[in-house]
Protein backbone atom coordinates (compact mmCIF):
# COMPACT_ATOMS: atom_id res chain seq x y z
CA UNK A 1 0.00 0.00 0.00
CA UNK A 2 2.82 2.38 0.88
CA UNK A 3 4.56 1.61 -2.40
CA UNK A 4 1.33 2.30 -4.27
CA UNK A 5 0.81 5.61 -2.46
CA UNK A 6 4.41 6.61 -3.22
CA UNK A 7 3.95 5.79 -6.90
CA UNK A 8 0.78 7.89 -7.05
CA UNK A 9 2.54 10.80 -5.34
CA UNK A 10 5.51 10.62 -7.73
CA UNK A 11 3.16 10.47 -10.69
CA UNK A 12 1.33 13.53 -9.44
CA UNK A 13 4.59 15.39 -8.98
CA UNK A 14 5.59 14.43 -12.50
CA UNK A 15 2.36 15.81 -13.92
CA UNK A 16 2.82 19.01 -11.92
CA UNK A 17 6.33 19.44 -13.27
CA UNK A 18 5.10 18.96 -16.83
CA UNK A 19 2.46 21.66 -16.32
CA UNK A 20 5.10 24.29 -15.57
CA UNK A 21 6.47 24.54 -19.11
CA UNK A 22 7.16 28.01 -20.48
CA UNK A 23 7.10 28.70 -24.22
CA UNK A 24 10.16 30.27 -25.80
CA UNK A 25 9.92 33.58 -27.66
CA UNK A 26 9.78 31.63 -30.92
CA UNK A 27 6.90 29.50 -29.64
CA UNK A 28 5.09 32.60 -28.36
CA UNK A 29 5.57 34.25 -31.75
CA UNK A 30 4.05 31.21 -33.46
CA UNK A 31 1.10 31.32 -31.08
CA UNK A 32 0.48 35.05 -31.66
CA UNK A 33 1.03 35.04 -35.43
CA UNK A 34 -2.00 36.15 -37.44
CA UNK A 35 -4.03 33.62 -39.38
CA UNK A 36 -2.74 32.52 -42.78
CA UNK A 37 0.65 34.15 -42.19
CA UNK A 38 3.71 32.47 -43.68
CA UNK A 39 5.36 30.49 -40.83
CA UNK A 40 8.76 31.20 -42.39
CA UNK A 41 8.22 34.97 -42.30
CA UNK A 42 9.73 36.39 -39.07
CA UNK A 43 8.02 39.73 -39.76
CA UNK A 44 4.50 38.29 -39.91
CA UNK A 45 2.07 40.44 -37.95
CA UNK A 46 0.89 39.38 -34.50
CA UNK A 47 -2.72 39.04 -33.39
CA UNK A 48 -2.60 41.00 -30.13
CA UNK A 49 -6.34 40.67 -29.48
CA UNK A 50 -5.51 37.63 -27.35
CA UNK A 51 -3.39 39.59 -24.88
CA UNK A 52 -6.17 41.31 -22.87
CA UNK A 53 -7.81 37.92 -22.38
CA UNK A 54 -4.57 36.35 -21.15
CA UNK A 55 -4.06 39.32 -18.83
CA UNK A 56 -7.55 38.85 -17.42
CA UNK A 57 -6.95 35.16 -16.75
CA UNK A 58 -3.43 35.65 -15.34
CA UNK A 59 -4.65 36.67 -11.90
CA UNK A 60 -1.71 39.10 -11.66
CA UNK A 61 -2.66 42.47 -10.14
CA UNK A 62 -0.28 44.45 -12.39
CA UNK A 63 -1.62 42.77 -15.53
CA UNK A 64 -5.23 43.24 -14.45
CA UNK A 65 -4.71 46.95 -13.84
CA UNK A 66 -6.30 49.12 -16.52
CA UNK A 67 -8.32 46.38 -18.21
CA UNK A 68 -11.92 47.31 -19.11
CA UNK A 69 -14.55 45.91 -16.76
CA UNK A 70 -16.07 43.92 -19.61
CA UNK A 71 -12.84 41.96 -20.04
CA UNK A 72 -12.25 41.06 -16.37
CA UNK A 73 -15.88 40.13 -15.64
CA UNK A 74 -16.77 36.43 -15.48
CA UNK A 75 -18.79 36.66 -18.70
CA UNK A 76 -16.03 38.60 -20.43
CA UNK A 77 -13.40 36.05 -19.44
CA UNK A 78 -15.56 33.14 -20.60
CA UNK A 79 -16.27 34.83 -23.92
CA UNK A 80 -12.68 35.71 -24.74
CA UNK A 81 -11.39 32.30 -23.69
CA UNK A 82 -13.37 30.64 -26.48
CA UNK A 83 -11.19 32.36 -29.08
CA UNK A 84 -7.95 31.64 -27.16
CA UNK A 85 -8.89 27.97 -26.74
CA UNK A 86 -9.47 27.72 -30.50
CA UNK A 87 -6.01 29.17 -31.12
CA UNK A 88 -4.43 26.73 -28.65
CA UNK A 89 -6.15 23.80 -30.35
CA UNK A 90 -4.69 24.80 -33.73
CA UNK A 91 -1.49 22.76 -34.30
CA UNK A 92 -0.24 25.38 -36.79
CA UNK A 93 -0.10 27.95 -33.97
CA UNK A 94 0.53 25.64 -31.04
CA UNK A 95 2.51 22.63 -32.32
CA UNK A 96 4.00 22.01 -28.86
CA UNK A 97 0.53 21.78 -27.29
CA UNK A 98 0.92 24.36 -24.54
CA UNK A 99 -2.13 24.50 -22.29
CA UNK A 100 -4.20 27.55 -21.48
CA UNK A 101 -2.83 27.52 -17.92
CA UNK A 102 0.73 27.57 -19.26
CA UNK A 103 0.26 30.51 -21.61
CA UNK A 104 -1.84 32.54 -19.15
CA UNK A 105 0.81 32.32 -16.41
CA UNK A 106 1.82 35.88 -15.39
CA UNK A 107 5.45 35.59 -16.51
CA UNK A 108 4.43 34.21 -19.90
CA UNK A 109 1.81 36.92 -20.42
CA UNK A 110 4.32 39.66 -19.56
CA UNK A 111 6.81 38.15 -22.03
CA UNK A 112 4.12 37.96 -24.71
CA UNK A 113 3.27 41.65 -24.20
CA UNK A 114 6.94 42.64 -24.39
CA UNK A 115 7.47 40.43 -27.45
CA UNK A 116 4.47 41.96 -29.24
CA UNK A 117 5.70 45.48 -28.40
CA UNK A 118 9.20 44.71 -29.68
CA UNK A 119 7.76 43.09 -32.82
CA UNK A 120 5.58 46.14 -33.50
CA UNK A 121 8.50 48.49 -32.92
CA UNK A 122 10.71 46.47 -35.29
CA UNK A 123 8.02 46.66 -37.96
CA UNK A 124 7.77 50.44 -37.51
CA UNK A 125 11.54 50.82 -37.76
CA UNK A 126 11.61 48.64 -40.88
CA UNK A 127 8.92 50.81 -42.46
CA UNK A 128 10.89 53.94 -41.64
CA UNK A 129 13.94 52.61 -43.50
CA UNK A 130 12.09 51.86 -46.74
CA UNK A 131 13.03 54.22 -49.60
CA UNK A 132 10.44 56.89 -50.46
CA UNK A 133 8.43 56.53 -53.69
CA UNK A 134 10.74 59.03 -55.44
CA UNK A 135 13.57 56.53 -55.15
CA UNK A 136 11.88 54.35 -57.78
CA UNK A 137 12.40 56.82 -60.63
CA UNK A 138 9.51 59.20 -60.09
CA UNK A 139 10.78 62.60 -59.00
CA UNK A 140 9.28 64.04 -55.87
CA UNK A 141 7.07 67.08 -56.42
CA UNK A 142 8.63 70.39 -55.41
CA UNK A 143 7.93 71.32 -51.84
CA UNK A 144 5.43 74.08 -51.32
CA UNK A 145 5.65 76.56 -48.48
CA UNK A 146 3.16 75.71 -45.79
CA UNK A 147 1.13 78.12 -43.76
CA UNK A 148 1.69 78.06 -40.05
CA UNK A 149 -0.97 76.14 -38.21
CA UNK A 150 -3.62 78.22 -36.54
CA UNK A 151 -3.36 78.23 -32.76
CA UNK A 152 -5.75 75.89 -31.01
CA UNK A 153 -8.71 77.69 -29.52
CA UNK A 154 -8.42 78.22 -25.81
CA UNK A 155 -11.12 76.87 -23.54
CA UNK A 156 -11.75 74.71 -20.50
CA UNK A 157 -9.99 71.31 -20.29
CA UNK A 158 -11.81 68.48 -22.04
CA UNK A 159 -13.39 65.99 -19.63
CA UNK A 160 -12.25 62.45 -20.47
CA UNK A 161 -13.93 60.60 -17.60
CA UNK A 162 -12.65 57.06 -16.94
CA UNK A 163 -10.51 57.23 -20.07
CA UNK A 164 -8.68 60.17 -18.50
CA UNK A 165 -7.70 57.96 -15.55
CA UNK A 166 -6.35 55.36 -17.97
CA UNK A 167 -4.46 58.10 -19.79
CA UNK A 168 -2.88 59.40 -16.57
CA UNK A 169 -1.87 55.90 -15.48
CA UNK A 170 -0.35 55.17 -18.88
CA UNK A 171 1.60 58.42 -18.88
CA UNK A 172 2.90 57.64 -15.39
CA UNK A 173 4.19 54.20 -16.45
CA UNK A 174 5.69 55.68 -19.61
CA UNK A 175 7.50 58.38 -17.61
CA UNK A 176 8.95 55.68 -15.36
CA UNK A 177 10.21 53.80 -18.42
CA UNK A 178 11.78 56.98 -19.82
CA UNK A 179 13.60 57.53 -16.53
CA UNK A 180 14.78 53.93 -16.57
CA UNK A 181 15.93 54.30 -20.19
CA UNK A 182 18.38 57.02 -19.13
CA UNK A 183 20.44 54.49 -17.15
CA UNK A 184 19.50 51.18 -18.79
CA UNK A 185 21.70 49.33 -21.29
CA UNK A 186 18.71 47.44 -22.69
CA UNK A 187 17.95 48.74 -26.22
CA UNK A 188 14.33 47.60 -25.89
CA UNK A 189 13.88 49.85 -22.84
CA UNK A 190 15.49 52.82 -24.60
CA UNK A 191 13.57 52.34 -27.85
CA UNK A 192 10.17 51.73 -26.30
CA UNK A 193 10.68 54.58 -23.83
CA UNK A 194 10.96 57.06 -26.71
CA UNK A 195 8.20 55.36 -28.71
CA UNK A 196 5.85 55.35 -25.71
CA UNK A 197 6.35 59.05 -25.01
CA UNK A 198 5.65 60.10 -28.61
CA UNK A 199 2.68 57.77 -29.00
CA UNK A 200 1.05 58.88 -25.76
CA UNK A 201 1.34 62.53 -26.75
CA UNK A 202 -0.41 61.86 -30.06
CA UNK A 203 -3.03 59.68 -28.37
CA UNK A 204 -3.80 62.34 -25.73
CA UNK A 205 -4.35 64.93 -28.49
CA UNK A 206 -6.57 62.53 -30.43
CA UNK A 207 -8.58 61.59 -27.31
CA UNK A 208 -9.20 65.22 -26.38
CA UNK A 209 -10.25 66.03 -29.95
CA UNK A 210 -12.67 63.05 -29.97
CA UNK A 211 -14.06 64.02 -26.56
CA UNK A 212 -14.59 67.59 -27.76
CA UNK A 213 -16.63 66.20 -30.66
CA UNK A 214 -18.65 64.06 -28.26
CA UNK A 215 -17.34 60.85 -29.86
CA UNK A 216 -17.18 58.67 -26.72
CA UNK A 217 -16.79 55.47 -28.74
CA UNK A 218 -13.57 56.79 -30.26
CA UNK A 219 -12.32 57.83 -26.83
CA UNK A 220 -12.86 54.26 -25.60
CA UNK A 221 -10.88 52.90 -28.57
CA UNK A 222 -7.97 55.19 -27.72
CA UNK A 223 -8.20 54.11 -24.06
CA UNK A 224 -7.77 50.45 -25.08
CA UNK A 225 -4.68 51.44 -27.06
CA UNK A 226 -3.31 53.16 -23.96
CA UNK A 227 -3.77 49.97 -21.95
CA UNK A 228 -1.56 48.12 -24.43
CA UNK A 229 1.11 50.82 -24.31
CA UNK A 230 1.13 50.81 -20.51
CA UNK A 231 1.24 47.01 -20.27
CA UNK A 232 4.22 46.82 -22.62
CA UNK A 233 6.03 49.59 -20.72
CA UNK A 234 5.31 47.93 -17.36
CA UNK A 235 6.56 44.58 -18.67
CA UNK A 236 9.86 46.17 -19.74
CA UNK A 237 10.15 47.87 -16.35
CA UNK A 238 9.60 44.56 -14.56
CA UNK A 239 12.07 42.76 -16.81
CA UNK A 240 14.74 45.44 -16.38
CA UNK A 241 14.21 45.51 -12.62
CA UNK A 242 15.05 41.81 -12.31
CA UNK A 243 18.51 42.24 -13.84
d(CA 13, CA 15): 5
At residue 213, the pLDDT reads 84
Q: What is the DSSP string of 168-215?
A: HHHHHHHHHHHHHHTT---HHHHHHHHHHHHHHHHHHHHHHHHHHHT-
- Binned average pLDDT, 10 residues per bin, the chain of 243 residues: 46 48 89 77 76 92 87 91 93 93 94 82 55 42 48 54 75 81 80 77 83 82 79 76 62
At residue 89, the pLDDT reads 95
Give residue limits of the domains in the chain.
Answer: 20-126, 160-241
d(CA 229, CA 113): 9
Phi, psi of 33 (to 5 degrees): -60, 140
At residue 229, the pLDDT reads 76
At residue 133, the pLDDT reads 43
3-state secondary structure at position 75: helix
Three-state SS letters, 5-41: HHHHHHHHHHHHHHCCCCCCHHHHHHHHECCCCCCCC
Q: Tell whether pTM > 0.75.
A: no
d(CA 221, CA 11): 48
Amino acid sequence: MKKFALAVMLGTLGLTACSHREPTDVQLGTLLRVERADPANPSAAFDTTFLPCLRAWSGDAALLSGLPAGVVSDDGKKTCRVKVDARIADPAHNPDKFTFAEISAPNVVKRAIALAAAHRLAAMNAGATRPPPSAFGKPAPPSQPTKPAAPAPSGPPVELGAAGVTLSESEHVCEQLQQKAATSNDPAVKNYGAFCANSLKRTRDAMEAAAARGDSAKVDVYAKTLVRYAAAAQSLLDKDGKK
